[in-house]
Amino acid sequence: MRIHFKTSYAHDIRLFPDRWTFCVYGALLALAFGLPYLLDEFYLGEVTNVLIWAIAGLGLMLLTGQTGQASLGHAAFLAIGCYANTILIEQGVPFIIAFPLAGIITGFVGLLIAVPVLRLHGIYLAIATIALSVLADDIIVLTEHWSGGVSGKFPEMITIFGFEIERWSMPSRFYYLVLVVTIICTLFYRNLLRSPLGRAFAAVRDSEVSATAMGVHIARTKGKAFGLSCMITGWSGALMGYYAGTFNNETFSLVISITLLMMIVIGGLGSIHGAFFGAVVVAFLPQALSILKDNVVGSGVAIPGLETGVFGLILILFIMFEPMGIYGRWLKIRTWFELFPFARKDMFRRQKSYLKTERLR
């Protein structure tokens, strides 16, 4: 007689919980590789933009959603990754080496900044990270010799073993490059969650006192989370520079940091899916608002603050009525259908309780 033991965390240890999930993601991946043959250049560019935002969302999700450390300064690390990649290529470093190095440099800078910053908590941590975005803007202007200052920089064409990739003239090649980076970052994030370090991140997020009692080194764990988060964000920043075609100090402003945070909240904090759902909203909502404005008001009429106001309204509505984001709502709908007809109205009532150990922080 053979006995099979199942643990409560077996679902998290496996890369795919079952064969059906593996087939679903395999079909999505096949569809992603086939999109250049199904979409025109405009919509393919929009999908590329979604993937770049998703990579940035994964970086911030690792820090905020997985470790519980709020950050409003990730635009600074987007800028570091973008400028580091461009400057390395200008110095003759091949893209295949410069691109990974840009992420590693960004992660190292993030690790150095984490030493003093992560001693703060809550609103004080958020204020400190806001200062990073402001400082990054000034540093870019002051280091005009390397950064180009307010005039900005133009990234050179990507060359990988003699194979040229350019965002405007060869959008399908650039799309495939971004797709491969997205897959690598997603698999890295997923495997990190299954590792002891990923579980330490979750323990710090839920309760620092309880995590300390289990032997987790809080400062070291936060520093690793900050460094890995900045590394992924740096790669997104490098791709964002290629997508934009030109960039300067205004490209990576505080608004980008706020948009990133809003993106993962709307998509669903603490989940890989949330980064992608939030990226879809951030990338396509401006286009939808533009089309709606042209049809209702007219193409020649500008409405200042429309996009910012709609984004803010959506964020408020999600915080009030669906704190778990789009992915959380999808999980509730799926669970309701799985339990039907035994599902009840108050099954997903928001919990008001919290750990007693949280009062000690």
Q: Please, which pLDDT band fits residue 264 given cuts at 50, 70 and 90?
A: very high
Tokens linked to 246: 């030109």
**pLDDT in the model for residue 12:** 57
Q: What angle do CA 14, 17, 19 make, to 5 degrees?
A: 115
Q: Give mean pLDDT, residues 218-228.
A: 91
Please state, in angstroms and as integers, the Cα–Cα distance from residue 191 to each residue in 68, 108, 292, following that order: 19, 21, 41
Higher pLDDT, 166 or 227: 227
Q: Which residues contact 176 (CB under 8 A, 6 or more apart)?
A: 33, 36
Is residue 253 a contact partner of residue 135, using CB atoms and an 8 Å limit?
Answer: no
Residue at token pair 């987790």: 216
**Residue 144 pLDDT > 90, yes or no?**
no
Radius of gyration of the chain (CA): 21
The pLDDT, as a whole number, for residue 232 is 96
3-class DSSP string for the chain: CCCCCCCCCHHHHCCCCCHHHHHHHHHHHHHHHHHHHCCCHHHHHHHHHHHHHHHHHHHHHHHHHCCCCCCCCHHHHHHHHHHHHHHHHHCCCCHHHHHHHHHHHHHHHHHHHHHHHCCCCHHHHHHHHHHHHHHHHHHHHHCHHHHCHHHCECCCCEEECCEEECCCCCHHHHHHHHHHHHHHHHHHHHHHHHCHHHHHHHHHHHCHHHHHHCCCCHHHHHHHHHHHHHHHHHHHHHHHHHHHCCECCCCCCHHHHHHHHHHHHHHCCCCHHHHHHHHHHHHHHHHHHHHHHHHHCCCCCCCCCHHHHHHHHHHHHHHHHCCCHHHHHHHHHHHHHHHCCCCCHHHHCCCCCCCHHHHHC
Highest mean pLDDT among 204-213, 250-259, 271-280, 319-328: 271-280
List the single range of 123-137, 273-287, 314-328, 332-346 with lowest mean pLDDT. Answer: 332-346
Residues 70/292, Cβ–Cβ less than 8 Å: no
Q: What is residue 250's predicted lDDT score, i.e. its pLDDT?
A: 86
Q: Which two tokens stand for residue 155?
A: 């990234």
Query: Would you say residue 230 has pLDDT above 90?
Result: yes
Q: What is the pLDDT of residues 192-221, one digit of tens each?
A: 988 899 899 989 988 888 888 888 888 899
Position 88 scores a pLDDT of 93
Dump pLDDT digits (tens) for 151-164.
Answer: 888 888 898 888 88
Minimum mean pLDDT among 3-7, 28-32, 204-208: which range? Answer: 3-7
Instruction: Give percent of the chain with pLDDT exceeding 90.
Output: 36
